[in-house]
A = this chain, B = another copy of it.
Amino acid sequence: MKVKLASNYGFCFGVKRAIKIAEEYKNSTTMGPLIHNQDEINRLKNDYNVGLYQDLKEVKDNDTIIIRTHGIPKNDLKILKEHNAKVINATCPFVTTPQQIVKKMSKEGYSILIFGDKEHPEVKGVASYGEKQDDVHIILDIEELKNITFKKNKIATVAQTTKKKEKYLEIINYLILRNKEVRVFNTICDATFENQDAAREISKEADVMIVIGGKHSSNTKQLHAICEENCKSSYLIENESEIEEKWFENKSLCGVTAGASTPDWIIQQVVKKIESI
């Protein structure tokens, strides 16, 4: 079977970088899972003895702690330092930017608006850099915005890196019409959408599509939905063991894409198996 990979798939720049860092620091421990993929976490544990803490309380003095792509709240960093931990910062540079913006804008007297999910670790980290926590506001929806009273009439905005630009613009437009100054920082990262665009493209060409990723991963499911729009024979699998030969009967080109948490080695195993059919 002929296989063609999407022009963008799998890990984004930040995750690739974080995994490389973890491989360089054997015997370290990540603060929270480095990636939403148990196979990859196991590989790091087995091959590099990279451990995993789910909670700050587990940290022991002099540990080597890797901060994952999402970053961590300012206070948590302080606690790590109190433990005399060696802190290895794998925060994605695209996440460090909004952290620094919130810090600077807050110091300059702006009210802060973050477009994102207040329960998401990235957003918690970014929000923690606001100097006046009672004037840092986090919303997911324009409706929530209507209930917010900003302390200033000049507002600085950042967005969670994985959010949709269209919705961010909607929120900004609402603010512009009601405030003297809105200082907009475009902190949205294109990686998620690049995978989607590439999936759209290749699924138009292929007559069977394989999407590799977690069955519960929202970005993988979205890739699958996009592929199905253009190619009815689109299958979502977690690894090569799920492949069924009958999918490829009378097909000539198989397109392959993968969710943002799918490691390259899993993708390679899938490609190899399909090529052998």
A residues apposed to B, CB below 8 Å: 165, 168-169, 172-173, 176-177, 179-186
What are the nearest 9 A-B pairs in CB distance?
A182-B184, A183-B183, A169-B173, A176-B184, A181-B185, A176-B186, A165-B177, A180-B186, A184-B184
In the assembly, what is the distance between CA of A41 and CA of B169, in Å? 45
| 27 A-B contact pairs sorted by A residue (CB < 8 Å) | A165-B176, A165-B177, A168-B176, A169-B173, A169-B176, A169-B177, A172-B172, A172-B173, A172-B176, A172-B184, A173-B173, A176-B184, A176-B186, A177-B186, A179-B186, A180-B185, A180-B186, A181-B183, A181-B184, A181-B185, A181-B186, A182-B183, A182-B184, A182-B186, A183-B183, A183-B184, A184-B184
Nearest chain B residue, comparing its CB with the CB of A170: B173
Chain B residues, CB < 8 A from A169 = 173, 176-177
Chain B residues, CB < 8 A from A184 = 172, 176, 181-184
In the assembly, what is the distance between CA of A179 and CA of B168, in Å? 14
Copies in the complex: 2
Chain B residues, CB < 8 A from A168 = 176
Chain B residues, CB < 8 A from A173 = 169, 172-173
Chain B residues, CB < 8 A from A176 = 165, 168-169, 172, 184, 186
Chain B residues, CB < 8 A from A183 = 181-184
Chain B residues, CB < 8 A from A181 = 183-186
In the assembly, what is the distance between CA of A1 and CA of B186, in Å? 58
Min CB distance A110 to B, Å, is 11
In the assembly, what is the distance between CA of A180 and CA of B181, in Å? 17
In the assembly, what is the distance between CA of A172 and CA of B176, in Å? 10
In the assembly, what is the distance between CA of A177 and CA of B186, in Å? 7
In the assembly, what is the distance between CA of A200 and CA of B168, in Å? 32
Nearest chain B residue, comparing its CB with the CB of A180: B186
Min CB distance A165 to B, Å, is 6
Min CB distance A174 to B, Å, is 10
Min CB distance A142 to B, Å, is 14
In the assembly, what is the distance between CA of A179 and CA of B184, in Å? 10
Nearest chain B residue, comparing its CB with the CB of A153: B186
In the assembly, what is the distance between CA of A165 and CA of B179, in Å? 13
In the assembly, what is the distance between CA of A185 and CA of B183, in Å? 8
In the assembly, what is the distance between CA of A83 and CA of B35, in Å? 72
